[in-house]
Amino acid sequence: MSTDYKTRAGQEFDRAAFESLMKRKNFYWQSFEPHGPVKGLFDYGHPLATLEAQFLTLWRDHFVRKERMQELKCAMITPYNVFKTSGHVDKFADYMCKDPKTGEILRADHLIKDVLEARLKSDKEARGEKVEEAVEDPKKKKKASKAAKTAVKLDDQVRKDYEFLLATLDDYTGEDMGTLIKKHDIRSPITGNEVEPPVSVNLMFQTQIGATGKEPAFLRPETAQGQFLSFQHLLEYNDSKMPFASASIGYSFRNELSPRSGLLRVREFLMAEIEHYVDPESGKKHPNFSRVRDVKLPLLSRQTQSEGGSTPTVASIGEAVKTRLVDNETLGYFLVRIKLFMDRIGVDPAKLRFRQHMANEMAHYATDCWDCELLTSYGWIECVGCADRSAYDLSVHMQATGQPLNVRETLKEPVRVEEFQAQLNKKKAGPKFKQDAGKVQSALDALTQDIREKLSLELEKEGKVEIDVPAMEKVTLDKDIVDISKQTRTVTTREYIPNVIEPSFGIGRILYSLMEHAYWTRENDVARSVMSFKPTVAPIKVLVVPLQKDARFNPLIQELEDALDDRSLSFDTDTSGVSIGKRYSRNDELGIPCGITIDYQSLEDGTYTLRDRDSTKQVRAKLEDVLDAIERMVRGRETWEDVQKRLPAFESQDKEEKE
Amino acid sequence: MSTDYKTRAGQEFDRAAFESLMKRKNFYWQSFEPHGPVKGLFDYGHPLATLEAQFLTLWRDHFVRKERMQELKCAMITPYNVFKTSGHVDKFADYMCKDPKTGEILRADHLIKDVLEARLKSDKEARGEKVEEAVEDPKKKKKASKAAKTAVKLDDQVRKDYEFLLATLDDYTGEDMGTLIKKHDIRSPITGNEVEPPVSVNLMFQTQIGATGKEPAFLRPETAQGQFLSFQHLLEYNDSKMPFASASIGYSFRNELSPRSGLLRVREFLMAEIEHYVDPESGKKHPNFSRVRDVKLPLLSRQTQSEGGSTPTVASIGEAVKTRLVDNETLGYFLVRIKLFMDRIGVDPAKLRFRQHMANEMAHYATDCWDCELLTSYGWIECVGCADRSAYDLSVHMQATGQPLNVRETLKEPVRVEEFQAQLNKKKAGPKFKQDAGKVQSALDALTQDIREKLSLELEKEGKVEIDVPAMEKVTLDKDIVDISKQTRTVTTREYIPNVIEPSFGIGRILYSLMEHAYWTRENDVARSVMSFKPTVAPIKVLVVPLQKDARFNPLIQELEDALDDRSLSFDTDTSGVSIGKRYSRNDELGIPCGITIDYQSLEDGTYTLRDRDSTKQVRAKLEDVLDAIERMVRGRETWEDVQKRLPAFESQDKEEKE
């Protein structure tokens, strides 16, 4: 694979070597291997499971505690109605084409993209143009290239058509794609067979609650809906004050049809989602924005992308919000907090960018969206999405259930307003609609003034009107059961449905990227790999190594282990017979940041050497000083450079480079 | 409800008041409420979600880090074959009876128990005997009592039959229960209808992987199987050294048919499971047992229970293992570690006991099992199960897959042994059985010497033998494909399948019990409830309260908040207009352990008062001293009593009791 992707030390990134380390050191593996591994499901071994636990501790500290969010945990198994209402039952789907001869399932958009790109590439070759090697997905490229083994030149018009198609593919419906596949004779790149027309396949895992089969349910594909449905609890807990945020760390599920790219596209995954609720009329200001105004971010704007560029502009968030490149303060504030978090866990700043969504990537109601993307050997990967979900979700659930999911605010001064009211006669509506009366009233409440005016006239003329009530049939309302008329009233409260700004973290993707960013090999020895995790996130903090096998070291080992336990510092002790250099080297692959050597001088004067994993430099000091230094590095209060300034350097008696 | 269950302050426990606090302070609620709540699914609000996060941090510290276990995380969605092999597909089920008229589903054993207990109670009343009020489940009692409104005396023999039935009910099959229901005319206690015969209903949630429907799967009902199937990875990571333990914190699922008892019986739940792997020939010794030998535990033995007793004996674990009350050191070591953990998180020691399983509660292969039970208003609740799973799970997966899940140990001295070998002829078996050849060989390997001897004779006589191969049909092996004969060989390695000792924590149950244990009300004022969480687990650590609304306090509030942030201490600031006593009081319901008051003296000399939630006592000191004290209490290094000794007491200017 030819790629520009480099390790932190500037070396060619060798994915095979990296994956071999991941396997050798038990970072992760495919689940249920003895029974035949299952695609898209992975187990984390000790190093990665522990890295994730440390990640979560820092995430809670950085977001939940520091921003005083309300953490909550919602159920994963979710009844049908919730996702019917949110739109996921109808829209959370991919279009699939079946190869009728092999039974293989192909994602329709991937199929079209792969085939057309292959034809364009072949055309370029035939025209003798330079062919760019995309790094995005080497597997895909390989497949697609099978379909175009000899260079074939296309008509100029066909070439233009293809380019236009590829640029606009995201807007195509399933039917559109079916037509397109026929028209351009798009076939399976693997078998060359014609494929069946695209069918929509929902990506949620289905199950059912209870034994009766009457309660269909899904495993949630996002944690957001549970948060929205808890809005009244959250608002109450916040003493009805706005704005505020809820946050949830939890699992979501996607029944991917052909998972690929290792940990980057999996079937069950841990997310952390923040839902920040704001008054839509507040201008989406953020109270702490002034504290971050000068932080600079690499921003790849929609405009730059549409002009074919891919180089981000570095700008302060203050400037970006002022020029409306970033839509509002709250969105900008979160972009900065995300960047600071990524720095804190040790993401390579040169491999991070914020990419603005193109218009066709956003939901129709969204005003602005930015993804935090991290560069990996698979290309730029979306790791945090910052979306503006407007009032969409709260509104649809409120309409479907008739339950309040809004804010009621007392006005400073009462206001007199003249407007069309649409009100059920409760005495008559109650017996008629029973538990649905609330839904009917909610539907009336949702009508605009224009429509109320129209209905008022109709009611007068016809004696009845017909309205749409979500989750019910069309409902006919007689004159005696509904009143729609212009009225003057004094308003003392204002009701509104909050807008939601949602930073959504894909934790598995961030961890995978972080591991690629941490990986490098020692100069002059590619076999000696190092995982340079920051002490704050490193799965194991300390390596204890006696210089050699000698029973006199045993009491010191025990004393040291007890002292580490007292400070809750995790450690491994390597007492195997191999040289000290080799022992350090094989534990560098686990990313253990601090090494303590017990040697003969320790027996005499109670001093120990402390080794830094990245530089392999050492200092020597009394046990308490060594442990203090480690504790400060692990808590993020001090760096190795600080420690080196305080404690005397030590030259190793067993040069590592000789090993 | 009449119950002996008391709060930590010795008051009658009022469950309605407790539940009202849980609701008012957003500890938890039923999921998806606006769409109509779903039974057995709960959301945790900020206080409980945060309590859980702190619990997990301590659990990881106490078990994974301190005991140097390998943490791992396995997939929840699990293919059919895994649970077919483990026995869950066939046996993880409850028997259900349907009320044919209402369609209601009743658990067969619950139904029998409820009805017979009601009849016995009625009999006692008719005989004029004292009727004990069971605290176990007030709802159940209520239901059952409907069926027996007037006291009915039973024949002496019937009474004895019922008592025997109840004592042995756990041993009944579905068919047995069907016969019993007919014989004793057991009907639905709710409707009085006859019920249909019991049918077995599996309790796993079913789903499928991918779109083709060819990959049926389950949501796991325990985390253990994923750990077992990772055994080779774990052993390798541990440099093939035994014994060691893996640990996993993760969600499991049970499709309960009629969930009840709030958070105690739910459909998705977080568990923490430890699998400790030992050599079955090691005597199950534990290397650190001597460190805990003298710790005393309340042990309710099988014998005491069979004699009708329920008072635990308090004994040191050293003594209990020596007398074989507790089977082995490893099991004993874990009981102690569990007890120490429960102390650490603040479980009431008077509401904790270890109960030994009765013979009929254990799996057939288990030697000894103990549950850590916590007393709640629902009775004694199993919160941690300590089971000996023997080599069962690893063996069945190894047999079904033909993959090694065992330990291979080099012997110190080679040994010559004479024994029957059963070996496939690989050249012929390969083409015949293809990928199943390994399974067939595993089945041969599993045969005892006795059976091999028998088969050897049969093979000689008949020219073929028939063997059972798990997950395959019966397999016939001809003479030319298998050799079974006595051979002498030199053995240099020993292979064995480890035994597994499994402490399994139900986290939701522990958290619920902990909340009941933390709850009490102030003397002379039942409306003032307190949640006495230890500072180490309290969801929010500090409450900041300015004495009253005064703009001069604002810079001090800001400074204090920044200082708390610097130390990563979570806090709430209550600047509302109500009296300081009321503000403290309403935050006592959240269990915030430390209160800092900003008053006029703070403006003058930079000192602040620090209030203890439980005693409402205060001390006064400089900001740094106050924060140091809080940090030490939160890290479990110091108690309020220690702080009181160091810092000068302060008499409140606004007596709380007057509020």
Q: What is the DSSP string of B136-202?
A: S-HHHHHHHHHT--S--PPPHHHHHHHHHHHHHGGG--HHHHHHHHHHTT-B-TTT--B-PPPEEEE
**For position A2, what pLDDT does the model report?**
39
Question: Which ranges of A269-324 would DSSP assign to H, the alpha helix?
Answer: 289-292, 302-306, 317-322
Residue A156 has pLDDT above 80, yes or no: yes
Q: How confident is the model at residue B311 (pLDDT cuts 50, 70, 90)?
A: very high
pLDDT at B659 over 50: no
Residues from chain A that touch B79, judged by Cβ atoms under 8 A, are 32, 35, 38
pLDDT, position A638: 95
Lookup: tokens for B134: 């069971």
**Rounded percentage of chain B residues whose pLDDT exceeds 90:** 67
pLDDT tens-digit map of B239-261: 999 999 999 999 999 998 777 77
Task: Choose the weakest-confidence range: B356-365, B566-575, B615-624.
Answer: B356-365
Of A357 and B138, the structure prediction assigns the larger pLDDT to A357
- Joined together, the tokens standing for residue A155 give 């008509």
CA distance B304 to B307: 5
Interior/surface letters B483-501, b for 16+ CB within 10 angstroms, e for the rest = ebeeeeeeeeeeeebbbbb
- Measure in Å the smallest separation between the Cα of A586 and chain B Cα atoms: 12
E-strand ranges in B7-133 read 28-30, 42-44, 70-71, 77-79, 93-98, 105-107
How far, CA to CA in Å, does A658 sit from each of A293, A529, A652?
Answer: 50, 16, 11
Lowest mean pLDDT among A347-361, B307-321, B407-421, B428-442: B428-442
pLDDT at residue A147 tops 70:
no
Judge whether A72 is closer than 8 Å to chain B, CB to CB: yes
The distance of B33 to chain A (nearest Cα, Å) reads: 7
Q: Which two tokens stand for residue A470?
A: 């979500």
Q: Return the pLDDT at B255.
A: 92
Q: What angle do CA A150, A151, A155 make, to 5 degrees?
A: 135
Q: Which residues of B touch A78 (CB under 8 A)?
A: 31-32
**In this predicted structure, what is the pLDDT of residue A208?**
93
Q: Is A229 on the interface with B (CB under 8 A)?
A: yes
A135 has a pLDDT exceeding 70: no
Q: pTM for the complete prediction?
A: 0.87
Q: Which residues, 6+ apart, have CB-to-CB distance to B73 below 8 Å?
A: A43, A44, A48, A49, A52, B248, B249, B250
Give the best residue of B23, B51, B73 to mutate against chain A (max A CB count within 10 A): B73
- Contacts of residue B268, defined as CB under 8 A and 6 or more positions apart, other chains included, come to A75, A76, A77, B41, B251, B252, B253
Task: Check B76 against A251: CB less than 8 A apart.
Answer: yes
Label residue A656 by pLDDT band (50, 70, 90).
low
Nearest to B41 among A38, A75, A565 (CB): A75
B247 near A CB under 8 A: no
Least confident among A57-66, A646-655, B185-194, B353-362: A646-655
**Quick one: pLDDT band at residue B546, thresholds 50, 70, 90?**
very high
The contacts found for A578-581 with CB under 8 angstroms, 24 or more apart, are A579/A654, A579/A659, A580/A545, A580/A547, A580/A548, A580/A654, A580/A656, A581/A654, A581/A655, A581/A656, A581/A657, A581/A658, A581/A659
Cis before B431? omega within 30: no
Residue A112: DSSP 8-state: H
Flag whether residue A237 sits within 8 Å of chain B, measured between CB atoms. Answer: yes
Please provide the average confidence, as pLDDT, over all residues in chain A: 90
Is the pLDDT assigned to residue B359 strictly greater than 90?
Answer: no
* pLDDT, mean of residues A283-301: 95
Nearest CA in chain A to B235: A26
Q: What is the pLDDT of residue A149?
A: 60
Residue B132 binned pLDDT confidence (cut-offs 50, 70, 90): low
For A35, which of B60, B82, B267 is closest by C-beta distance? Answer: B82
Q: Are B372 and B338 a contacting pair, CB within 8 Å?
A: yes
Side chain identity at residue B605, one-letter code: D
Q: Measured between CB atoms, which of B34, B50, B239 is closest to A71?
A: B50
Note the pLDDT of residue A588. 96
If residue A581 lies in a helix (H) or strand (E), which one and from where to where?
A: helix A580-588
A35 has a chain B CB within 8 A of its CB: yes
Asked whether the predicted pLDDT for residue B513 surpasses 80, the reply is yes
How many beta-carbon contacts under 8 Å exist across A and B? Answer: 210
Query: pLDDT of A573-623, one tens digit each?
Result: 999 889 999 999 999 999 999 999 999 999 999 999 999 999 999 999 999
Predicted confidence band of residue A145 (pLDDT cuts 50, 70, 90): very low
Contact at CB, B45 and A85, closer than 8 angstroms: no
Q: Could you count the other beta carbons within 10 Å of the beta carbon of residue B142?
A: 10
Closest partner residue to A57 among B52, B57, B68, by Cβ?
B57
pLDDT of residue B10: 93
pLDDT digits (tens, 9 = 90+) for B150-162: 788 888 888 888 9
Sorted by sequence, the CB contacts under 8 Å of residue A313 that are 6+ apart come out as A298, A299, A300, A301, A304
Of the two residues B136 and B109, the one the predictor is more confident about is B109
Which pair of structure tokens corresponds to residue A642? 């600080």
Mean pLDDT across the stretch A313-341? Answer: 96
Task: Kindly indicate the confidence band of residue B107, based on its pLDDT and cuts at 50, 70 and 90.
Answer: confident
pLDDT at B211: 76
A chain contacts of residue B45, beta-carbon cutoff 8 Å: 70, 72, 230, 233-234, 237
Q: Chain B partners of A66 at a C-beta cutoff of 8 Å?
A: 565
CB B51 within 8 A of CB B511: yes
Residues in chain A closer than 8 A to B25 (CB atoms): 237
- CB contact (8 A) between residue B74 and residue A201: no
Q: Does A239 touch chain B (CB under 8 A)?
A: yes
Res B149: pLDDT: 60
Q: How confident is the model at residue A523 (pLDDT cuts 50, 70, 90)?
A: confident
Q: What is the pLDDT of residue B656?
A: 57
Question: Helices B554-566 & B623-634, crossing angle to 10 degrees?
Answer: 40
CB A242 within 8 A of CB A496: no
**Over 80: is that where the pLDDT of B342 sits?**
yes
| B406 at A interface, C-beta within 8 A | no
Residue A244: pLDDT band with limits 50, 70, 90: very high
Q: DSSP secondary structure string, A555-569? A: HHHHHHHHHHHHTT-
Average pLDDT over residues A267-279: 97
- Crossing angle for the helix pair B46-59 and B329-345, to the nearest 10 degrees: 140
Q: Which of B381, B540, B378, B531 is nearest to B8 (CA)?
A: B531
Question: Using CB atoms, which residue from B42, B207, B237 is nearest to A205?
Answer: B207
Report whether pLDDT(B335) > 60.
Answer: yes
Of the residues B22, B77, B240, B405, the best mutation for testing chain A's interface (the one with the most A CB atoms within 10 Å of its CB) is B77
Range list of H helices, A87-137:
88-91, 108-126
B103·A565 Cβ contact <8 A: no
The mean per-residue pLDDT over the stretch B104-121 comes to 88
- Listed by number, the residues of chain A in 264-303 with a beta carbon closer than 8 Å to a beta carbon of chain B are 267-268
Which pLDDT belongs to residue B238?
94
Q: In this prediction, does ipTM exceed 0.85?
A: yes
Rg (CA), chain B: 30
The mean predicted confidence, pLDDT, of chain B is: 90
Q: Which residue of B has its CA nearest to A33?
A: B229
Quickly state the pLDDT bin for A624 (edges 50, 70, 90).
very high
- How far is it, in rounded angstroms, from Cα B336 to Cα B342? 10
Distance between CA atoms of residues A354 and A607, nearest Å: 48
Q: Residue B87 has which token pair?
A: 């026995």
Shortest CB distance from B79 goes to which of A32, A75, A400?
A32
Instruction: Name the residue among A613, A146, A50 with its Cα closest to residue B71.
Output: A50
DSSP secondary structure code for residue B130 in this structure: P
Contacts of A34 in chain B (CB under 8 A): 229, 397-398, 401, 403, 405
Nearest-angstrom CA–CA distance, B201 and B95: 6
Whole-number Cα distances in Å, B134 to B121, B156, B380: 11, 23, 11
- Check residue B148 and give its pLDDT: 47
Percent of chain B predicted with pLDDT > 70? 95
Q: Report chain A residues whose CB lies below 8 A from the CB of B61.
A: 568
Q: Which of A35, A201, A204, A583 to mutate to test the interface with B (most CBs of B within 10 A)?
A: A35
Residues in Cβ contact with B263 at an 8 Å cutoff, skipping those fewer than 6 apart: B28, B42, B508, B509, B511, B512
What's the pLDDT score for residue A137? 45
Helix/strand number for chain A, H first, E second: 24, 29
Q: Is the pLDDT of residue B330 over 50?
A: yes
Burial of A90 per CB tally in 10 Å (0-12, 13-18, 19+): exposed
H helix and E strand count, chain B: 24, 29
Average pLDDT over residues B465-491: 87
Q: pLDDT tens digits for A467-486?
A: 888 777 788 899 889 999 88
> How many Å apart are CA B279 and CA B284, to the nearest integer?
7
Residue B537 has pLDDT above 90, yes or no: yes
For residue B295, give both structure tokens: 């710790």
pLDDT tier for residue B138 given thresholds of 50, 70 and 90: very low
The Cα–Cα gap between B45 and B113 comes to 36
Instruction: Show residues of chain A in contact with B212, CB under 8 Å.
Output: 103, 105
Question: Which residues from chain A sit within 8 angstroms of residue B394, using beta carbons?
Answer: none
Q: Is the pLDDT of residue A655 over 60?
A: no
**Tokens coding B104:** 């209601």
Distance of CA A340 to the CA centre of its chain: 16
Please, what is the angle between helix B108-126 and helix B156-168, to 10°?
150
CB B254 within 8 A of CB B221: yes
Lowest mean pLDDT among A364-373, B83-92, B568-577: A364-373
Lowest mean pLDDT, pick from A14-18, A89-93, B361-365:
B361-365
